[in-house]
Amino acid sequence: MPTGDTPDAFLDELAHQRRASPHTIAAYRRDLRLLTELTGAAPLAAVPPQQIRRFAMQLHGRGLAPRSLARTLSAWRAYYRWLARRGLISRNPVEGVRAPRAPRTLPKALPVDQVQALLDAPANDLLELRDRAMFELFYSSGLRLAELAGLDVAPHLDLAEREVTVTGKRGKTRTVPLGRQAAEALAAWLRQRATLAAADEAALFVSRRGGRLSAGQVERRLARWARQQGLGQHVHPHMLRHSFASHLLQSSGDLRAVQELLGHASIRTTQIYTHLDFQRLAQVYDAAHPRARKK
């Protein structure tokens, strides 16, 4: 068994005393081997904080992604904490060293015409009638995948009032409106639902076997539907939620209303859609402004 203050001793303790997974051990081993390479002949216990910062800058300069760099720093931090518990160092040199913030990727929204093509396609059988109702509901009300899959016929759906009540993240319940076309698609599905649903099944959307449709099944059905309509790209449920938010914000400009409809706890989460809207405006500007068009 390894002894002393070596990374091998640290990894051995992780594996045998803390029961860390083989995946975790392998990742830590790679990250600590990298630290050993960067320090060269210098003992790891003597590396000062400023040197750790330089190492982080070097790795970032080599093209290491912010998330990967954050993982590497986390492994180094854990090793130095282990040394500190053993009394071998007085200060963890990695504390306070942070990776650059990863760029926030903007959600992908479908253009309005592609959404129209997706939702206007006719349903050719009972399962497609169900699918069309699901996809109309996604786009009409901006639901999350888990929220839609968890819907029951009652008390969640109220076609008379054209609204649906869902339970979102952290158990928060919200009621959102249904568009006319979504309400019509849901009504058409409900008239046929009993031919598939088991007698005691409460779920709004059921599989051909009569039980609740799983989230994975919903994803696969949407991907299949998009392929059939020739959209030429993979379409997933969250893309319809993004499209709902983006298109609604473009039309209304009401960020607070979009936040409430999406069930976001923080307005900061909703604000990402303002960037989407700006991207669209920038594209219009580049295409139309006399001083922006390329000659």
Contact assessment for residue 202 and residue 149, using Cβ atoms and an 8 Å cutoff: no
Determine whether 295 is an active site residue: no
- Residue in 33, 169, 172, 191 annotated catalytic: 169
Integer Cα distance of 130 and 225 in angstroms? 12
- Residue in 174, 236, 238, 280 annotated catalytic: 238
Integer Cα distance of 30 and 36 in angstroms? 10
- Residue in 156, 241, 242, 247 annotated catalytic: 241
- Residue in 144, 193, 221, 242 annotated catalytic: 144
Residues in the chain: 295
Integer Cα distance of 73 and 75 in angstroms? 5
Integer Cα distance of 127 and 207 in angstroms? 8
Determine whether 273 is an active site residue: yes
**What are the φ and ψ backbone dihedral angles of 165, each rounded to 5 degrees?**
-110, 125
Instruction: Give the DSSP letter of residue 123.
Output: P
Name residue, tokens 């050993």. Answer: 36
Determine whether 101 is an active site residue: no
Determine whether 139 is an active site residue: no
- Helix 255-262 and helix 272-288: axis angle, to 10°? 130
DSSP assignment string, 157-182? EETTTTEEEEE-GGG-EEEEE--HHH
- Catalytic residue positions, numbered: 144, 169, 238, 241, 264, 273
